[in-house]
Amino acid sequence: MTDGDRPRLAGLRGEPSVYRAAEDSRLLATTAVARVEHEDLVLDLGTGSGYVGEKVAEACGARVVASDLNPHACRRAREAGLPAVRTDVVSGFGDGVFDWVLFNPPYLPTPPEREWDDWMERALSGGEDGRAVVNPFLGTVRRVLAPEGRALLLVSSLTGLDAVRNRARNEGLTTEEAADEAHPSERLVVLELAPTGR
């Protein structure tokens, strides 16, 4: 996804403040559906339009909780029938809860002078290096995973894949490429994360 993609992301059922599902959402949903099992408890973190959570709930029969910092996204998820919690990353959840955490974070590297203060910017901008939200996620996701829990994190080659893997390793997480998809300006990758030692 590039800066040129920004205009097409606005506007979901009259809601210009919610990230619309795009190729990254579809790749994450497809990857999750192949792994999540019936009755798993799944967190669709940064739910946006709720697309990933809806697909997983429908296809797998999983119990899905949506979360987002954006109140418009939480409202959209509830309209789609998903319970939704407004919270930042995983701070609103207890320890050892989820079998899967699915996250399509803001990952576009965005210089400070290109930032603007609205919900769509928060849904897209990963800060200067693209990892402003990815790094806090990697530092906290272990806490909410059940004993055999795992996470699926969508990242882009624009985000710096080696830097993401190194940060995950430093946070006690193994990484494995679960899926990828090439686009003209980037490669999208879904990393499967698990606490070290499993």
Number of domains observed in the structure of the chain: 1
CA distance 116 to 167: 27
pLDDT greater than 80 at residue 83: yes
What local confidence, expressed as pLDDT, does residue 158 receive?
83
What local confidence, expressed as pLDDT, does residue 116 receive?
52
CA distance 193 to 105: 15
Rg (CA), the chain: 15
Nearby residues of 4 by Cβ (< 8 Å), 6 or more positions away: none
Cα dihedral across residues 180, 183, 187, 190: positive or negative: negative
Q: How many CA atoms lie within 13 A of 93 on its CB side?
A: 28
User: Of 13, 16, 33, whose CA–CA distance to 124 is shortest?
Assistant: 16
Residue 110's pLDDT band (cuts 50, 70, 90): low
What local confidence, expressed as pLDDT, does residue 197 receive?
75
What local confidence, expressed as pLDDT, does residue 109 receive?
53
Amino acid 92 reads G
What local confidence, expressed as pLDDT, does residue 1 receive?
38
pLDDT greater than 90 at residue 114: no
Domain that holds residue 132: 3-195
What local confidence, expressed as pLDDT, does residue 98 receive?
97
| H/E run at residue 139 | helix 134-144
pLDDT greater than 70 at residue 81: yes
What local confidence, expressed as pLDDT, does residue 65 receive?
96
Answer whether 0.85 is exceeded by the pTM: no
- CA angle centred on 3, ends 115 and 72, rounded to 5°: 65
133-189 pLDDT, tens digit each? 899 999 999 999 999 999 999 998 888 899 999 999 999 999 999 999 998 888 999
What local confidence, expressed as pLDDT, does residue 11 receive?
38
What local confidence, expressed as pLDDT, does residue 189 receive?
95
CATH code where residue 115 lies: 3.40.50.150
Strands 145-156 and 186-195: antiparallel
What local confidence, expressed as pLDDT, does residue 94 receive?
93
9-63 pLDDT, tens digit each? 333 344 457 667 678 889 999 999 999 999 999 999 989 888 999 999 999 999 9
